[in-house]
Amino acid sequence: MLALTCALLGAGVAAPGLAAAEPATPGDDGEAWIGDAVCRGCHVVEASHWDGTVHARAFAHPRTPAEQRACEACHGPGGKHLASPTDPAGILAFTSGSNAPVEAQNDACLSCHAGGGRIHWTGSRHEMADVACSDCHNPMASESRTSMMRESTVSRTCFGCHPEQRAQFRKRSHMPLLEGKVSCEDCHQPHGSPVDPLLRGDSTNDVCYTCHADKRGPFLWEHAPVRDSCTNCHHPHGSNHVRLLVTTPTLLCQTCHSQLDHPSDLISGGNLTGGVAPDERALNRGCVGCHVQIHGSNHPSGPLFHR
Ligand code: HEC
Ligand code: HEC
Ligand code: HEC
Ligand code: HEC
Ligand code: HEC
Ligand code: HEC
Ligand code: HEC
Ligand code: HEC
Ligand code: HEC
Ligand code: HEC
């Protein structure tokens, strides 16, 4: 690092010459824009990393004056930094060691990306928690195939700060996220959403229907808790019970049902397989052994989800 810094400072001697080749223009606040050729003179390594990125390719054919600024489009005008490279206040830096306020860092990105997915960024949980764009994105590298994530995949990027959810996806029953077929951003919109917690859809069920369309209905016989929310019975991230259920199949139904004419509450352990009085309601799939269409049914036989 020391050697690199020395090399950079060494190159700095040549920098004023470069600056002359590309005349300094004053920024909005009177600060001088020095042009990316000057940055490159000292930051050879960083520039070579940046060159392979989506931004470098897009900025090569600039559509706006901001895109023309290349490095300075994000890092801001470099005049002060050129005069005193070791003064951290001279340039907008993004790494976690940076002393630039997170808001200033994010504003640099939002100057071009305020629309689209970021429409709900302001006031979102991540924004309120001072998470920076660059906590998830690294525009100086090409780690991921899309969206310039910090890590090789979206989910890995999230794991860094959400280890609990990572652990949940290791439970016995889970959707294939660690297996690479589902990703955090299939269900969550990390940039902000009007639906808590950062959900990508109008409701929890709406999120689930995108992949489990058969559960959408409409059904002739609806099961009220299914319409209310899938999370009444399923945990979206993982469960040690079968089928992502929040509890065992038999107990699950009993959390809400206790009929007199068709007792749904099991009396004792003797009702289980191998007990003295095994009860079919406790065997195999439990209640859903008979109430098969538990998510809703269209069968004329009636509202009991048997067929
Ligand atoms: C004269 C050489 C020189 C030029 C030209 C130069 N830099 Fe630097 N830059 C440095 C040195 C040296 C450091 C390391 C400072 C330190 O470690 O304290 C640095 C550090 C940085 C940092 C990290 C700051 C931090 O606090 O971690 C950023 C970001 C940066 N430069 C961007 C740029 C950009 C963008 C340009 C062009 C507008 C540019 N530099 C032009 C020499 C230069
Ligand atoms: C699209 C915005 C963007 C552009 C354009 C951009 N950078 Fe960066 N740069 C960043 C972000 C974000 C980081 C922080 C990356 C990280 O967290 O590791 C960074 C980090 C750096 C650092 C500090 C590296 C470190 O380890 O602290 C330097 C130096 C730097 N950039 C130089 C440049 C130069 C030179 C260019 C032009 C060739 C450039 N950047 C173009 C956004 C940008
Ligand atoms: C000067 C405008 C500008 C600035 C500033 C800027 N970007 Fe971009 N960004 C673009 C353009 C242009 C594209 C290319 C895609 C497009 O055409 O929309 C892009 C693409 C992206 C993409 C999508 C990459 C992909 O693989 O599809 C991400 C992620 C991104 N930018 C993040 C950032 C972050 C984070 C910052 C701040 C550190 C930032 N951008 C700053 C203009 C900008
Ligand atoms: C908590 C993590 C996280 C943070 C913080 C974050 N992003 Fe993203 N971003 C993602 C993920 C995941 C994707 C890819 C999924 C997608 O396409 O929506 C993405 C995609 C993008 C894209 C390309 C796709 C699109 O929506 O246009 C851009 C541009 C972008 N982010 C900009 C930003 C900016 C600007 C900020 C800061 C204001 C930011 N991001 C903050 C996670 C994050
Ligand atoms: C830099 C750390 C960081 C990264 C990376 C990160 N998050 Fe977060 N996330 C947070 C913080 C901090 C909060 C706020 C926690 C709180 O308020 O309790 C949060 C909140 C959330 C919430 C809302 C939780 C709630 O209870 O409302 C969701 C959902 C979430 N993050 C999803 C994601 C996803 C998906 C990704 C990856 C694309 C991601 N996060 C990446 C730090 C991070
Ligand atoms: C299949 C959809 C889905 C996937 C994939 C998913 N989530 Fe969630 N997540 C949800 C739903 C739905 C909730 C709300 C749970 C509730 O209301 O009980 C939630 C809640 C959360 C919360 C709030 C706290 C909590 O646990 O209830 C965080 C944080 C979170 N998710 C992060 C993540 C991260 C990080 C990933 C990727 C590792 C991820 N989620 C993947 C659907 C999903
Ligand atoms: C991005 C697509 C996607 C979304 C969104 C999604 N799922 Fe899944 N889900 C899957 C895949 C893929 C499987 C595995 C199917 C298989 O193994 O055949 C699965 C399996 C399941 C299973 C069966 C698990 C098991 O152990 O057999 C349940 C229950 C489930 N999902 C519930 C939900 C709920 C509830 C939601 C909404 C919070 C949801 N899913 C959202 C893709 C998705
Ligand atoms: C009243 C409780 C309950 C609710 C609410 C519920 N489920 Fe289920 N779900 C179950 C039970 C019980 C099973 C296991 C059925 C079995 O063993 O065949 C199951 C199984 C599943 C399966 C895997 C087997 C299959 O049928 O494909 C998926 C996927 C699934 N549910 C998705 C959803 C979605 C999406 C929602 C919200 C629209 C939802 N569930 C709401 C109880 C429920
Ligand atoms: C979160 C609470 C809840 C859970 C858990 C639940 N149910 Fe229900 N169930 C209801 C409600 C509410 C109704 C509608 C009752 C009504 O219309 O009188 C209902 C209706 C039914 C009906 C139709 C009854 C009728 O007379 O129309 C059957 C059968 C049924 N549930 C079976 C089950 C089974 C089997 C399970 C377990 C897989 C289960 N339920 C889990 C709340 C729940
Ligand atoms: C062996 C098949 C079978 C199993 C297992 C079963 N049921 Fe039923 N269930 C039925 C039949 C048949 C009816 C219609 C009974 C009637 O009309 O008198 C019924 C009716 C119901 C009703 C609506 C009538 C009422 O009593 O209000 C509910 C609710 C119900 N069952 C819940 C459950 C629950 C909860 C379980 C698991 C503990 C369960 N069932 C297990 C066959 C079964």
- Annotate 7-18 with b (16+ C-beta within 10 A) or e (fewer): ebeeeeeebeeb
> Which residues have CB under 8 Å from 284's CB, separation 6+?
none
Counting ligands in written order, the one closest to the CA of 197 is 5
User: By alpha-carbon position, which residue is closest to atom 19 of ligand 4?
Assistant: 147
Q: What CA–CA distance (Å, rounded) separates 145 from 18? A: 35
What tokens appear for 147 in the block? Answer: 């969206």
Q: Which residue has the higher pLDDT, 110 or 284?
A: 110
Q: Is the pLDDT of residue 10 over 70?
A: no
Q: What is the dihedral of CA 67, 73, 79, 81, to 10 degrees?
A: -150
Q: Is the pLDDT of residue 27 over 60?
A: no
Give the model's pLDDT for residue 24. 42
Give the model's pLDDT for residue 267. 56
- Nearest ligand 10 atom to alpha carbon 264: 38
- Hey, what amino acid is at 28? D
Q: What CA–CA distance (Å, rounded) separates 293 from 31? A: 68
The least confident of 42-46, 91-95, 237-241, 260-264 is 260-264
Ligand 7 centroid–CA 212 distance in Å is 7
Task: Confirm if 148 and 138 have CB atoms less than 8 A apart.
Answer: yes
Ligand 2 centroid–CA 140 distance in Å is 5
Give the model's pLDDT for residue 20. 33
pLDDT tens, position by position, 51-110: 999 999 999 999 999 999 999 999 999 999 999 999 888 999 998 778 899 999 999 999
The least confident of 93-107, 123-137, 191-205 is 93-107
Give the model's pLDDT for residue 306. 85
pLDDT tens, position by position, 243-282: 999 998 878 988 888 755 666 555 567 777 777 877 776 6
* 266 CB-contact burial (10 Å; exposed 0-12 / middle 13-18 / buried 19+): middle
Span 21-32, mean pLDDT?
Answer: 52
Ligand 10 centroid–CA 280 distance in Å is 11
- Percent of the chain's residues with pLDDT above 90: 66
Ligand 3 centroid–CA 191 distance in Å is 14
Q: Is the pLDDT of residue 220 over 80?
A: yes
Average confidence score pLDDT of the chain: 86
Neighbouring C-alpha atoms within 13 Å toward the C-beta of 290: 12
